[in-house]
Structures are given as C-alpha cells and as structure tokens.
C-alpha cells in the first residue's frame, strides 16, 4: 500500500507544459464626419413666385471612418421671416428648398427632395435622389474619403414683403449606413 501511495504522489508531482495560442482583439471607434465645399451658394436676385436650380454643385465628402449616408435639414428659418415648406408651391412668405445628390445637374425635383425646419430628409433610393439615377451618385453608401455632388433648387415665396437678402442654412448630417 505504501508503494502505491508513493507511486501516486510521483504522478501528481509531474508538471506537463501546455500549448498556448494568442487572440488579438481589435476595435475601431466609429467617427461620423462630413465636409462640404464650397460652404455657400448664392441664387442671386429672384422674382417672387419664381424658382431657380443651382448652376453648380456643393461637394459633400465623407471624412469619417465608416460608410455613411447624408441627411438634410434646415435648423432655423432665416431671421424668422419666411417659413420653409415642402408643399408643391410655396405661398406668401413661404419658400421651398430642395436638393438632389447626383453626378450632374438634375432635370427634375420632387416633393421627396424638399426639406424644411420640420421635415428632414435622409438619402435613400427615392429621397434626395433623381428617379432612376446612378446608385453610386446618391447620398447613401458613401464610403470613407468619397463624396457626392449636391444640387439645390430654390422656390421663392409667391408673395413677400421681405426684399433684403435672406440667408438659409441647409445642414448636412452624416449618419451611419
């Protein structure tokens, strides 16, 4: 019996070296960011009830580190004078601002392309996009360091007492795709 115990103690005291394997854990913090150039567009002097399409685009670039889509909105009305609408035709003291992401100047703008203080629009296959346009030109699935061309259309109030130049802020927000 003593020999059996001595034999068991000998087995227990032996150490065996094991194999190891390392696991690398990585993480990337999402950075949503957008840049625009130029930072303004001037439609010039217009007549009440008329509309104008921009003759040049605003370059909107994803300068974050993930694929993004872009949202457009108006943070506040210009000097509290006019009211932004998404209706088909602006009325007295109302205006409509529309935009489309497209490589070249769009031919038509729809209600789904207009945005206001109360109605923000997020780029999709139908919103802020010309019907049937190239998917690679629209304001979504924009990979990092890539950009899109943004074209504006402005529809003036049907009637207004305001004749001084008004500045409207169109805000572009980067969202995770």
Q: Does residue 19 lie within any of the structural domains?
A: no
- The structure's pTM equals 0.85
Q: Does residue 22 lie within any of the structural domains?
A: no
- The strand pairing partners of 52, in sequence order, are 154
CATH number at residue 40: 2.60.40
Q: Does residue 54 lie within any of the structural domains?
A: yes
* pLDDT tens column, 40-51: 999 999 999 999
State the pLDDT at residue 36. 98
* pLDDT tens column, 17-74: 889 999 999 998 999 999 999 999 999 999 999 999 999 999 999 999 999 999 999 9
Q: Does residue 68 lie within any of the structural domains?
A: yes
Q: Does residue 28 lie within any of the structural domains?
A: no
Number of folded domains in the chain? 1
Q: Does residue 74 lie within any of the structural domains?
A: yes
* pLDDT tens column, 78-115: 876 899 999 879 999 999 999 999 999 998 999 999 99
Q: C-alpha distances in angstroms, 151 versus 20, 38, 163?
A: 58, 12, 25
Q: Which domain holds residue 134?
A: 33-176
């Amino acid at each position: 019996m003593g020999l059996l115990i001595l034999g068991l103690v000998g087995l227990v005291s032996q150490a065996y070296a094991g194999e190891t394997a390392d696991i690398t854990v990585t993480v990337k913090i999402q950075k949503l960011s957008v840049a625009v150039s130029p930072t303004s567009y001037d439609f010039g002097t217009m007549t009440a009830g008329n509309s104008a399409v921009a003759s040049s685009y605003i370059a909107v670039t994803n300068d974050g580190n993930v694929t993004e889509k872009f949202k457009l909105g108006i943070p506040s009305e210009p000097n509290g004078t006019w009211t932004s609408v998404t209706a088909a035709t602006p009325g007295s003291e109302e205006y409509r601002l529309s935009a489309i992401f497209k490589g070249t100047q769009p031919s038509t703008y729809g209600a789904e392309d207009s945005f206001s203080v109360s109605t923000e629009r997020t780029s999709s296959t139908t919103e802020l996009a010309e019907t049937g346009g190239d998917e690679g030109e629209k304001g979504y699935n924009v990979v990092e360091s890539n950009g899109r061309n943004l074209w504006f259309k402005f529809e003036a109030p049907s009637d207004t007492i305001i004749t001084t130049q008004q500045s409207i802020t169109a805000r572009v927000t980067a969202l995770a795709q």
